Amino acid sequence: MSVSVFPAPATPSEFTSEALGITLFEEDLSRLEELGNPLAPLLAEAAGLHRFSGKKEQAFSLPLPSSLGVSTVRRVYVAGMGPSAKATCDSWRFAAAGIAKSAVRDKVTELLLWSPGALEPPCGIPKGTATKALVEGALLGNDRGTSFRTKREDDDNGEASLARLSVAGGTEEDLTAGRLFAEAQIYARHLANEPGNMVNPLILAERAQALAQAEGLECTVYDDTAIREMGMEGLWSVGKGSKTPPRLIHLVYRPDGTPRKKVALVGKGLTFDSGGLNIKTEGHMRTMKGDKSGACVVLGTMQALARLRPDLEVHALVGAAENMPDGGAYRPDDVVRAKNGKTIEIDNTDAEGRVTLADVLCFASELAPSMIIDVATLTGACVVALGEYTAGLFSNSDALAERIYAKGKETGERFWRLPLDDERLRKKISSPIADVLNSGGRYGGAITAAMFLQEFVAEGIDWAHLDIAGVDNYKEPYGYYGKGATGFGVRILLEVLRSL
């Protein structure tokens, strides 16, 4: 359900809404007095009863029966954000998401958010950025996720969702950006959550075509015959073990005038990964519907770009395949040739994502962009190295890496840069019979995978590889993330592109 977002007056005496959500730093408790009588004393009493001091993750709600004499608001939600000295943009996202989740549980459809800290943010955080974060958090918290359950009479929450969100003191520009960023991430989440029997390479291509038609983008889909004719033997080989053939998807956003830059985004689109002949164990095969998350992130980004209309030319490329172990599957010891002519010796068929990306990076390089960013659930080694809440960042450009890292602080999408300059480690992907080996083994696996990808990026192009394995799916709700696919990476791509 789409949520309409509107600016609201910054003055508390003018607030009118079904529900009021308030986010407060520890130093801002006295701001409740601005709500006046009779609401201010009621909230002060409720805060005391709940021992609310504004600490992070503290929250309470207060229903307001008509007998209390508060005619403009029927329910109030208050969320703490901790000390303002430790504020980040995620402080507002987390608080707004918590409020939105509580409001949805109470079947609230209209919510007004008031955050004194967003109107007067701490040093170093722009006012508009904080307001935008409030919208993102509320809409992401409102998202009910992907469900294929039949409707039940005992489902208390049913299809409850916000219909209208207002933000006190927000500008149209900031609120619109927050809404578009959140909607793009939600698009990516829902698509990534769909299982392999509902989204295979052919259907993913159809979804991309539908997105292009809806948003005014160009879209070209190359079938398996065209993929082979273009010399993309890596993508073709990974997909040939499935009865559903691979596809190469190419979306293009062009601005109204002359573009300042040409950029390429590349997404890994494995709609299901069994591991191929190096088949995964049962535990590791579960959630492999999410191995297309990089592609979903790139498609969600294109949705928002088409609506934001930046003066950039952006190409989105997805190698879509299903890695399956039938009699036609590619094998360990096979040697395949990528689009740029380099040969790849297959050590492990479960290192398939980099083999598909190799060809797509070659295709992207031939477009001669100034920058390529690829997004992929590439390695379990990255999860071992960084845990489940930080993504891996690799780049041949210090400036691009620093830009991504800085923007990640704004979006709350954590990245940590890992090295590409260890020549001893690079020897692990050396092959005696081919130009490169597709797996360097367990140790330093995220790094050797990135080194492999770098072999297929043309000289002179700034390139970054975002390994989102681990952060692409959460087993339990966390902040403004629900259970399942996260859409992690959409907002960082959008912020990086907007900053160019």
Active site residues: 280, 354
Which residues sit opposite 371 in a β-bridge? Answer: 263, 462
In this structure, how many other beta carbons lie within 10 angstroms of the beta carbon of residue 156? 9
Q: Which among 428, 462, 431 is positioned nearest to 447, based on CA atoms?
A: 428
What is the dihedral sign for C-alpha 22, 28, 33, 38? Answer: positive
- Per the CB < 8 A criterion, the answer to whether 168 and 9 are in contact is yes
Q: What is the spatial distance between Cα 267 and Cα 389, in angstroms, rounded to a whole number?
A: 20
Name the phi and psi angles at 286, rounded to 5: -65, 140
Sheet holding 371-376, edge to edge: 218-222, 247-253, 313-323, 262-273, 371-376, 462-467, 391-395, 415-417
Residues 6+ apart with CB under 8 A from 196: 271, 272, 288, 289, 322
Which residues sit opposite 318 in a β-bridge? Answer: 249, 267
The continuous run of DSSP H or E covering 265 comes out as: strand 262-273
Q: To which residue do tokens 């109030």 refer?
A: 76
Residues 6+ apart with CB under 8 A from 5: 135, 139, 164, 165, 166, 167, 175, 176, 178, 179
Name the phi and psi angles at 4, rounded to 5: -80, 140
DSSP 5: E
Q: Which among 183, 186, 89, 187 is positioned nearest to 134, based on CA atoms?
A: 89
The alpha carbon torsion through 417, 267, 344, 232 (nearest 10 deg) reads: -150
Q: To which residue do tokens 């041949």 refer?
A: 396
Q: Which among 284, 262, 288, 283 is positioned nearest to 273, based on CA atoms?
A: 288
Residue type, 477: P
List the structure tokens of 36: 């006046």
